[in-house]
Amino acid sequence: MSLLSDLINLNLSEVTEKVIAEYIWIGGSGLDIRSKARTLPGPVSDPSKLPKWNYDGSSTGQAPGEDSEVILYPQAIFRDPFRRGNNILVICDAYTPAGEPIPTNKRHAAAKIFSHPDVVAEVPWYGIEQEYTLLQKDVQWPLGWPVGGFPGPQGPYYCGAGADKAFGRDIVDAHYKACIYAGINISGINGEVMPGQWEFQVGPAVGISAGDELWAARYILERITEIAGVVLSFDPKPIKGDWNGAGAHTNYSTKSMREDGGYEVIKKAIEKLGKRHKEHIAAYGEGNERRLTGRHETADINTFLWGVANRGASIRVGRDTEKEGKGYFEDRRPASNMDPYVVTSMIAETTILLNP
């Protein structure tokens, strides 16, 4: 095994200028992350300088067998924390050979919204709190839980320390450092309310980069849990009963919100979000009705409610924002399995481009 480890950690830059690029894309379910690698003649730092590539869309649920070729367009580059050196991870989106975005390509529509002059002028910032659950591989039961049984009730696990409270911290810390190495603007991690559940935060990130960075962070986490022999779940309610679900709270501000008088802009934006509540809920993740019940720090899925420092609301405004009269707000509705391209662009569209 030491020889295998030595080979995996070979420093290619000692013998060649060639680098390995791992092309990453989203599969047919909208949540499965796919990737494959190719050799490049030398280091690349600009996505537009990378070659397009293709894959068999019939094997990912994205194309019929008789016309299976799907084209990958490189969109964002990150350092590869697994191969290191000059090797890279490449976030891609997917198109037909004719250049049309395939139906599961949500990045394309998001990029259109983020390139709108009114949106560009507002410089939208996002901070996404990605919750997830670690599961024991063979039994699909949360890490640290007795097989077929339950741990003690919620209370001591949130931000807890100790072998009987924090399960999987080595995975969490490995992911944290790997994201920083990759160039992802990961801003923190913490243990969550349900044991075996954790959270990382990405941001602040501007516009489309929030989606690129979150998908890259998800990919890295998938790879680390693969190495650890642990299953990663983004299910919004992995365990029924008196246990917290998993969300992807999305913090948001615009230039106008961050400037003096921004609190009034925030309140108008929240009013707009309330008018499109059903549309947002429909786009905020599968199975979210199991999570948004009005319990466990959520608002009921059919009710739009906002408040200051209220974690039982759809939209939460922080005390500091209220006090300073400017700042940001938190959309607490997105599920952990949401598509960040969809959620971030929809918030921008509703709050900036919608004229009720």
Q: Is the pLDDT score of 356 beyond 70?
A: no
Q: Is the pLDDT score of 156 beyond 90?
A: yes
Q: Is the pLDDT score of 2 beyond 80?
A: no
Q: Comparing 47-61, 203-217, 305-319, 336-350, which segment has the lowest mean pLDDT?
A: 305-319
Packing angle between helix 169-182 and helix 209-228, nearest 10 degrees? Answer: 140
pLDDT for the residue 36 = 98
Helix, strand, coil abundance in the chain, percent, nearest 5 = 35, 25, 40
Kindly state the average pLDDT of the residues 202-227: 98
pLDDT for the residue 64 = 87
User: Rounded to an integer, what distance in angstroms lies between the CA atom of residue 72 and that of residue 51?
Assistant: 9
C-alpha distances in angstroms, 145 versus 74, 142, 190, 300, 332?
A: 41, 6, 19, 28, 27
Contact 126, 254 (CB under 8 A): no
Q: Is the pLDDT score of 281 beyond 70?
A: yes
The neighbouring-strand residues paired with 72 are 53, 94
DSSP state of 343: H
pLDDT for the residue 186 = 98
Alpha-carbon Rg for the chain, nearest whole angstrom, is: 21
pLDDT digits (tens, 9 = 90+) for 171-208: 999 999 999 999 999 999 999 999 999 999 999 999 99
Q: Comparing 38-42, 201-205, 220-224, 241-245, which segment has the lowest mean pLDDT?
A: 241-245
Q: Is the pLDDT score of 115 beyond 90?
A: yes
Contacts for 3-9: CB closer than 8 Å, 24+ residues apart: 9/84
Instruction: Give the whole-number percent of the chain exceeding pLDDT 70.
Output: 99
pLDDT for the residue 218 = 98
pTM for this model (two decimals): 0.96
pLDDT for the residue 66 = 85
Contact 19, 79 (CB under 8 A): no
Q: Is the pLDDT score of 1 beyond 60?
A: no
Rounded to the nearest integer, the mean pLDDT of the chain is: 95
pLDDT for the residue 65 = 83
